[in-house]
Amino acid sequence: MKILFVCTGNSCRSVMAEGLLRHILRMKERMGTQVLSAGTNTMPGMGPTLETVEVMQAEGIDVTGHLSQPLTPDLVRLADVIFCMEEFHRDQILSVSPDAEKKVHLLRTFRNLSPMPDPNIPDPIGRPRRIYEACMALIKEGVERIVGWLEENKK
């Protein structure tokens, strides 16, 4: 199973989601799942923001070695499921690979029946750490639903 997280710059939100899911799967000894992330508008090889590193360290997760990568048709094709942070990311993914529609989900709405006025996880880039922490809380909720889904669909 290959899971891809997508945001804009691949330096904040998708890094948090990737790092968190990898950590949880490692703790559950689920080594058969590959977790990746990419950005719809990024340069390759950039590190995560300082705030992302700090928020992840507070979770006991080290993402200092992360290097950004742009979203490519190959990444979309190879992923079994793709989780994006905002609706416009979904649009960008589908513009790259229209046939991927069934495997692309907004992280916040995946298996979430609660009504919400805004299904997007806003970009924290350039904002104070408390905004990154709020972003992480939303991402954590989504990742926990993914973990539940993976547990239900063990192969």
Identify the CA nearest to 93 among candidates 66, 70, 121: 70
In total, how many domains does the chain have? Answer: 1
Residue 64 pLDDT exceeds 90: yes
Identify the CA nearest to 4 among candidates 136, 17, 12, 145: 17
Separation CA 53–CA 63 (nearest Å): 6
CATH number of the domain to which 16 belongs: 3.40.50.2300
Q: What is the mean pLDDT of residues 97-114?
A: 94
How high is the pLDDT of residue 31? 75
How high is the pLDDT of residue 29? 82
- The model's pLDDT over 40-55, given as tens digits with 9 standing for 90+, comes to 999 999 999 999 999 9
Determine the structural domain holding residue 60 and report its residue range.
2-152
Instruction: Return the biggest CA–CA distance within the chain.
Output: 41
How high is the pLDDT of residue 155? 53
DSSP state of 97: -
Known catalytic residues? Answer: 7, 13, 123
